[in-house]
Chain A
């Protein structure tokens, strides 16, 4: 087995020093070493989006990035974004609209939706929302409620009512 590698990173605002196996991916590191189990593992090859986390402000697939690659980086997960209130309006809209059933895809879905809403100037259309969420798999809802919730927040942030 390859020797462990020392890394230092910030996770949800806390400094983390760790020794990681070079083969360990980011989401396994977050879940197994830091017990941040809000980021989930669905497919382990970048297709389902359940492991979506933020690294230095950009969302990434936690299963396609290695923990050693995050040395010196700022990592944010759903636990941190919940505590900071970053996605509070999206979370409230998801609850209001029942935009989740089993909830397994929801942390990844929220981070992906937030990226769209932070990017776009005008409120995105339903088609743009669907397109942006195209890499996040949900087996329960059929997506319509999720699109409704994201659309409602997009409009609310523009000062409009849905």
Chain B
């Protein structure tokens, strides 16, 4: 079995006795998950619980003229049949806009469509019954009369004056537009010896979480409280939204998130059917459960990445990049998704294009338009795969054009490792990155020269292999700059509460959540190290708005960097409190004591003085023996939010090695490498597995995944048999390396690692395919997924 070697921490503040920082310790929740003893929301059953199923619009755009519910109401097991108009009396609609995305607009969205359905799959009526099967039976009996309207499906023509405006009150189909210009792009292009101009196309794809979206909502009229069990990444955000739209106070709502069967950004949004489930619980005064089935998931889970980017790069003969220019167009469905908006991905594309490079000349435009397809919103590595594929695609096309090795062209243009702090052409601020160190590391790790030799040798035998790279930057540890300043009540800060229990064990409640990435392990590592106990003495609680500090949850690669720092600080604060109590018991100077491996010791020589269990015993059961006036405080809470930089950017580079069958168009991935820099590595194994999983998600986008719509707005491949996802046989082994540049914004120095893999994978693979096909005179491929027919078209074979 290959094990990731432990990385020694490099920050002295972390160098505590028995430090767990930098160690691949196992996650505490794994055994439960391997034994089938987890508790996913789909597993939950409550007394008097009923199930809801939804009648969904078969049309992309239609007026609802009549809903006949009499037969459904009389069907076996049916408790209620509720239309959008009826539910609108219980829950108010929402509009997905933020003030810092200047000019963004959207229309009010209801939990169930009222009068008009705007995409195929939008719920138009709810049926609540004793079982899900009975609810589905009765859905068949609901008769909805539709008057079909012209659907707007093509983003390219959505803004044409002749195209129907989906929401007439908004006057046009433009959701959001951003323009940016920096340096002197025209002058840059004038100085270029070669200009490459092309159009990149990215297929719409979706998250396909293994466990579909699930929610159980329980309104207790006796307590006037709503308890919601939800597979979500942001429990406090959802608490706020449920309360706001039901007209409740936040303290009347408790959101519980236990095990979650995969998220990846899919479960950080407001979904109409989940809001409807909560509203139905209040209306019917009993627990209601909704678990999306897979067909519903494909037409209602957010989609992402449907972008068309016209892009241009200028380069001199000696390999200096002189300018970048992009024009991005993306269609996001009929509503901007609440509350994070659907403008963020395009905004990120503008922010990130050209990001790794020194070139100051940059012009960008991004337009986000409405259309009658399922909604799009933020999904793992928001905007990054698009920006990286465009930037790195242009860079390798430019290298080929001027006859320079693609790594060498990067060496000549990447921001030097000693040039920080630096500002990118889009205005983004970098504290400290390590592009050149990462490039050197991947060059040797993959034996680049050896692979080039092998590629040339096999080329002579008619075997067409390609090597492609993608340097990338990743947004992590977001401050309030991401959502808070735009008016969204999404916490940028996070908190941790650490308590010494009566036997000397620690309990930590954290605002960040566990989606399987290893949050519980990382939080326990931070607390155990900061306080000074063995790891198994720390128990971590996540996902309970009644019992954890207010926090943002898990998104934008923030759980370890922000939640981890809060836990670290809370552990330190409790250590000081416990040492004060121990000093009081021992009549010693607290400054001369420390806690090591669960025992109070002399700080200078490590001599054991008193056990934590004994401190706890005295504090809790014999406080009468403590000096008068001394009050022990065995709970400490600390919060953390990055203040130095709006985001902790990370960086890295990926490489793909693959073989193209030029007769069938099939692509075989042989190997993939990634070197990344997420600052202090708290748990090397967990970081590597985030990178690997993220890369495979990017591979899915590069080769397989595509939500295919027809011109009527019908999704043509909305099943797992038709929508291809990465499976084990086609995936390569992935080698991961690290460069460590801690952020000085926190004591831990950890940045995020959850999205780096996805950010670079598709761009690297696209470049490798083009590298394989270039000597064959193929047209460069600038679209994903690169299905066999795309490859064969590039080769002019079909």
Choose among A129, A139, A142 the residue that contacts B208 (Cβ–Cβ < 8 A).
Answer: A139
List A contacts of B731 (CB < 8 A).
Answer: 130, 142-144
Given contacts A98-B26, A102-B259, A134-B728, contact A144 B294 (CB under 8 A): no
Judge whether A139 and B264 touch: CB under 8 Å.
Answer: yes
Question: In the complex the two chains form, is A141's CB within 8 Å of B693's CB?
Answer: yes
Measured CA separation A82–B30 after assembly (Å): 13
On whether the beta carbons of B734 and A105 are closer than 8 Å, the reply is: no
Binds A, one of B39-47, B62-70, B426-434, B646-654: B39-47
Chain B residue numbers with a CB within 8 Å of A127 are 729
With A42-B210, A136-B728 as known contacts, state yes or no: A143 contacts B37, CB within 8 Å: no
Which of B35, B43, B693, B721 contacts A82 (CB under 8 A)?
B35
- Residue from B211, B721, B734 having most chain A Cβ neighbours under 10 A: B211
In contact, A95 and B211 (Cβ under 8 angstroms): no
Set B26, B76, B137, B689: member contacting A101, Cβ < 8 A:
B689
Check A148 against B728 for contact (C-beta < 8 Å).
Answer: no
In the complex, chain A residues whose CB is within 8 Å of the CB of B733: 126, 144
Write the A34-63 contact mask toward B (1 if CB under 8 angstroms, else 0).
011111111111011010000000000000
Chain A 123-162, CB within 8 Å of chain B: the 1/0 string?
A: 0001101110111111111111111110110000000001
Given A102-B262, A102-B515, verify A151-B1 contact (CB < 8 Å).
yes
A106 CA / B720 CA spacing, docked (Å): 18
B719 within 8 A of A: yes
* Chain B window 260-302, contacts with chain A (Cβ cutoff 8 Å), 1 for yes, 0 for no: 1111100000000000000000000000000001100000000
Does B686 reach chain A (CB closer than 8 Å)? yes
B313 touches A (CB below 8 Å): no
Is B127 in the interface zone, CB < 8 Å from A? no
* Cα A91 to Cα B31 with chains together (Å): 7
A138 to B30, alpha carbons, bound, how many Å? 16
| Pair A144/B692 contact, Cβ less than 8 Å | yes
With the chains together, A50 CA to B1 CA distance in Å? Answer: 25
Report how far A45 CA is from B27 CA in the complex, Å: 32
Q: What is the minimal beta-carbon distance from A4 to any residue of chain B, in angstroms?
A: 13
Residues of A within 8 A of B481 (CB): none
Cross-interface CB contact of A48 among B40, B210, B692, cutoff 8 Å = B210
Across the two chains, which residue of chain B brings its CB closest to A156?
A: B1
Pick from A105, A131, A136, A142 the residue with the most CB of B within 10 Å: A142
Structural contact, A47 and B720, CB atoms closer than 8 A: yes
Asked if B2 is an interface residue, CB under 8 A from chain A, the answer is yes
- Chain B residues with Cβ under 8 A from A41's Cβ? 42
Smallest CB separation, A136 vs chain B (Å)? 7
CB nearest to B732 among chain A residues: A144
Contacts A45-B721, A95-B31, A107-B36 given; does A144 touch B734 at CB 8 Å = yes
Give the complex CA separation of A96 and B25 in angstroms.
9
A104 and B211 form a contact (CB under 8 A): yes
- Cβ-based interface call for A122 (8 A): no
* Closest A residue by C-beta to B131: A32
- Specify which chain B residues have a CB less than 8 angstroms from the CB of A50 in the assembled complex: 210
Select B1's contact among A37, A93, A140, A143, beta carbons within 8 Å: A93
| B497 CB–A CB distance under 8 Å | no
Q: Dominant SS at the B interface?
A: loop
Chain B interface extent, by class: 35 or more
**Of B2, B26, B33, B133, most A-chain CB atoms within 10 Å:** B33
Whether A142 pairs with B34 at a CB distance below 8 angstroms is no
Asked whether, in the complex, the Cβ of B692 is within 8 Å of the Cβ of A91, the reply is: no
Contact B34 A104, beta carbon cutoff 8 Å = no
Given known pairs A50-B210, A147-B728, the reply for A162 and B1 (CB within 8 Å) is yes
Closest B residue to A162 by beta carbon equals: B1
Q: Is B697 an interface residue (CB 8 A)?
A: yes
B109 contacts A by Cβ under 8 Å: no
Contacts of B449 in A (CB 8 A): none
Which A residues touch B493, using CB under 8 A? Answer: none
Contact indicator B261/A142 (Cβ below 8 Å): no
Q: Is A117 an interface residue (CB 8 A)?
A: no
Interface size in chain A (residues, C-beta < 8 A): 65
Which residues from B are CB-within-8-Å of A137? 208, 210, 720, 725, 727
Kindly report which residue of chain B lies nearest to residue A42, judged by CB atoms.
Answer: B210
Expressed in whole angstroms, the Cα–Cα distance for A89 and B260 within the complex equals 25
Contacts of B734 in A (CB 8 A): 142, 144
**Interfacial residues of chain A within 1-26, with CB under 8 A of chain B in the complex:** 1, 21, 23-24
Residue B728 contacts which of A32, A97, A146 (CB distance < 8 angstroms)? A146
**Which residues does chain B contribute within 8 Å of A39, judged by CB atoms?**
36
Known: A104-B210, A147-B728, A149-B1. A38 touches B515 (CB 8 A): no
Q: Which residues of A contact B391 (CB under 8 A)?
A: none
Q: Does A78 contact B (CB under 8 A)?
A: yes
Question: Measured between alpha carbons, how far is A137 from B262 in the docked complex, in Å?
Answer: 12
Give the CA-CA distance A142 to B37 in the complex, in Å: 23
**Complex: how many Å from CA A96 to CA B4?**
11
Please tell me if the beta carbons of A38 and B261 are within 8 angstroms of each other in the complex: no
- Judged by a CB distance under 8 angstroms, whether A79 is at the interface is yes
Given A142-B696, A152-B1, A95-B34 contact (CB < 8 Å): yes
Q: Which residue of chain B has its CB nearest to the CB of A146?
A: B728
A103 within 8 A of B: yes
Is the CB of B209 closer than 8 A to any CB of chain A?
A: yes
* B770 in the interface (beta carbon within 8 A): no
By a CB distance below 8 angstroms, the chain B residues around A36 are 36
Q: Residues of A contacting B728 with CB < 8 Å?
A: 129-131, 133-134, 136, 138, 143, 146-147
A100 close to B (CB within 8 Å) = yes
A102 touches B210 (CB 8 A): yes
Could you say which residues of chain A place their CB within 8 Å of the CB of B516?
Answer: 100-103, 140
Interface centre among A36, A82, A130, A143 (most CB of B within 10 A): A143
Q: Tell whether B518 is near chain A: CB-to-CB under 8 Å.
A: yes
- Which 5 pairs of residues, A with B, have the shortest CB-CB distance? A38-B36, A103-B33, A102-B516, A142-B696, A104-B261
11 contacts between A and B (CB under 8 A): A37-B43, A39-B36, A40-B210, A44-B293, A45-B719, A82-B34, A82-B36, A140-B516, A140-B693, A144-B731, A152-B1
Given contacts A32-B131, A42-B212, 13 further A-B contacts (CB under 8 A): A38-B37, A47-B719, A94-B30, A95-B26, A98-B26, A102-B211, A127-B729, A134-B727, A139-B209, A139-B262, A141-B696, A144-B733, A148-B2
